Structure 1
Amino acid sequence: MNPRLLAVRAGLSRGGIELRQTLTSPTDLITFVLMTGGFLAAMLSARHTLLPGTAVSLGTSRLVSVLALDVGMYAVLWMADRLVGDREDGTLLRAKAIPHGMLGYLVGKVVSISAQVLIAVAATLLAGAFLVAGLAIGSPGGWLTLAWVLVLGLLATLPLGAVLGSLFPNTRTTALIFLVLGGLAAISGIFYPITRLPVFLQWTGQVFPLYWLGLGMRSALLPHAMAVVEVGHSWRQPATVAVLLAWAIAGLVLAPVVLRRMARRESGSRVAARREKAMRG
């Protein structure tokens, strides 16, 4: 059998194992509950406040936008954090030593983190559906839109997480990613319509995939009339596809280069030095 195909199959198996480990890890489950609970709290705090000019609450809009934040947080932050952690403990070095081991390693990470993203999105949407009104969840077209937004969103964000994980020196510095994502959420229309922000912040937010993820989610799950609070009073789905594809292509081109460079630098002595430094610290 083709060695690459074997590596992919091993990666799929590895992804399933990592997912089961995550779902049975108290630390990971607590992190998941706290993140999901925090997002739902932000939604509940505004469920009785109507967006100006609409009959839909700010809480409903936030709920749908938070689905984009689920994708961004898990795909970027968790991919980067786990890549750094595996580099520190020698997991990445062991994968490097196996023929096509890096391919299997990355397939496993993509499978496990993508599954976690889907679980987070489903949990947030299911809980929110019982707590807010106004979701347009009865349209097959809306669910189809949600599906392609999720696929493009993962393609745009997972490689970005891999690039950042290759560049950050240790797991402590990955906390900066969380802060950056929080800042982007504030200017990406996640918690309040982006059209209420100063123009320069609107343009800044639209550079990054998080805004377009949120816009795509809102176009899928909110009534069509809600487009009135968006830029240009439109869901701009062609632009959403174009921007997310552009980020996906850039990430898929850049990530393998950065990962190969990072993997070449790994050695047993570097892993041992990091362990010794961690024990001293």
Structure 2
Amino acid sequence: MTKNTRTPGHSPKLTKLHKLSVAGVATLGAATLAFSLAPSHTQTTTSDAAISAAPVAFSQQPIKNVQASVTDQQAGASLKTQAIEAKKKSADAAAKKAADNVRKVQAASRSVQRPAIETVAMKTVAMKTYATKTYAAKTAATKTYANNLDGWIRQSLDIMKRRGIPGSYNGLHRNIMRESSGNPMAINGWDINAINGIPSKGLLQVIQPTFNAYHVPGTSWNIYDPVANITAAANYAADKYGSMDNVNSAY
């Protein structure tokens, strides 16, 4: 038998080569263990990307919500503005319609009131005219005239004016002087009228039938009355010749 050269309690001495081999095996094992425990390269990259992207996604969400909120607010404001504009247009239309109705009512009122106003105005004018004529008549009635040819002519002219009978002072005076020389009791007893039994009488030498036909109301029916005679003769001359002013001879 061979002899055991190992001494109990001591391990054989490792050579330098053995030490290197052991270190290499240890290193390789550690590396293998680390590789088996660590995730693959692709998974690590994905996880890193997810981790790095997560905060970005988290930070973008509130921004989107804020933008949506602003957009909603703008849309709401736009709707409110449109509603206000619509109310304003409706109010303007209602105001315009009300104004038109007021104008129509005023126009209708004027159209109703105008005839009444015109009627009142016409009545007022008529009353004033009547009052004027009445006053003139009363004035003429109370007016005094001289009891002579001048006074008779002037009184006749006032009556003629109220009755619308034309004639002038000069026209009357001229014909009176030719016919009777101003004598109210003058009578013609020699002309054709006298021969026929109806002699001419008075200031303007009027026959009785003519006096009766052209007698002017308000004057005497006595053919010798100076004012009645002049006025009746002037009325006859106006009918036959247009006015006593147009008479220059026997008429």
| TM-score of Structure 1 vs Structure 2, range by shorter chain | under 0.3
Q: Output the TM-score relative to the length of structure 2.
A: 0.24
Q: Which structure has more helix as a fraction of its residues?
A: 1
TM-score (norm 1): 0.22
The structure showing larger relative contact order (alpha-carbon pairs under 8 Å, at least 6 residues apart) is: 1
